[in-house]
Amino acid sequence: MYRLLFDNVLTRIEPERAHVLTVAALRVMHATCAGTLVSRLTRPDPALAVTAFGRRFPSPLGVAAGLDKNAVMVDALGDLGFGHVEVGTITADPQPGNPRPRLFRLPADRALINRMGFNNRGAERAARVLARRPRRDDLVVGVNIGKNKVVPLAEAPESYRRAARVLAPVADYLAVNVSSPNTPGLRELQHVEALRPLLSAIRSVAGDTPVLVKIAPDMADDELVAILRLAAELGLAGVIVTNTTITRDGLTASPEEIARIGAGGLSGRPLHDRSLAVLRLLAAHNDARLPIVSVGGVADAADVWRRLAAGATLVQGFTAFVYEGPRWAARINRGLRRMLRRSRFDSLAELTASAYR
């Protein structure tokens, strides 16, 4: 039914407007008895639970940053069977983001292109929203933080530190976004020389809240490995790979359509191969056994299983959820349970551990 709704109704609505309507619908569902019923039906099997950053995740599958920019639908998403929700990207101060239109669908490629530009209501507002919600044992909430567009790169550490200071007390973990292509110059912060003081600044105010760094798929392999080693050196809790890509390889959409859309980060199925390749690269160099969160082109239970077998501790999705609808997480969880029963592993943690033997 969702596929019919998406193909015949939602695709006729401007993508960002459709997103706003979806957020409203999920929040209404969560606020009613329907939310309780859905939560019971979609609750992951206990056998799918994994542990990372000192927290129990009911399922390895979570929502990537970008879907819930202001932390207003955390529990509604949790009702659908996700083990964690990463909200944001949130900046120290509110900002409107880039001009519209800034979100585009590529249905034939099961992909999205966005140049949102960290549109959000700011760290103080998000912290208040998160502080008001009751903590749940069955849902982990991460907060993805970024730099305000007007802040010069030289002042980036202080911008991130301000956001981290406000949000760390209400987050189960912080994800440092230095890899979005939609804030001018931001990706320059991924280079180790710039990243070291920035991550150190965030760690200085995060307290006991785990800190991870999210990196782009477009970096050279040696740079990716250097970031992994820096994360281990600084005592970070893990890395998230990967963000969206600026490449346009392998698309079936016409060059004219891609040119019409213009700049932005590409997510979804076209990112699958590179994201998996980056995961395997980092797992091969992960001497410190840092948890790796894999995101990019994840479509079904087989994809999640493949990421765990390649060394990921957690897996995130975004674009496939947009295309597949509210039952997507529950379908993946059921598929993972079936695959686990047929496997030689007693738990998903054993599956991940097998990548490092």
- Which residues belong to the annotated binding site for FMN? 65-69, 89, 144, 177, 214, 242, 268, 297, 318-319
| Cross-strand pairs, 346 | none
275 has catalytic annotation:
no
Task: Report d(CA 319, CA 296) in Å as an integer.
Answer: 9
| Cross-strand pairs, 267 | 112
How many of the other CB atoms lie within 10 Å of CB of 229? 17
Task: Report d(CA 207, CA 257) in Å as an integer.
Answer: 47
Binding-site members are: 65-69, 89, 114-118, 144, 177, 182, 214, 242-244, 268, 297, 318-319
How many of the other CB atoms lie within 10 Å of CB of 173? 26
Residues 6+ apart with CB under 8 A from 255: none
Task: Report d(CA 332, CA 176) in Å as an integer.
Answer: 27
Q: What is the CA radius of gyration of the chain?
A: 19
Task: Report d(CA 259, CA 346) in Å as an integer.
Answer: 49
Binding-site members for substrate are: 69, 114-118, 177, 182, 243-244
The catalytically annotated residue of 179, 180, 275, 294 is 180
Task: Report d(CA 152, CA 37) in Å as an integer.
Answer: 48
Angle at 183 between CA 23 and CA 22, to 5 degrees: 10
Q: Counting every residue, how long is the chain?
A: 357
Task: Report d(CA 213, CA 220) in Å as an integer.
Answer: 17
User: Which residues participate in catalysis according to the annotation?
Assistant: 180
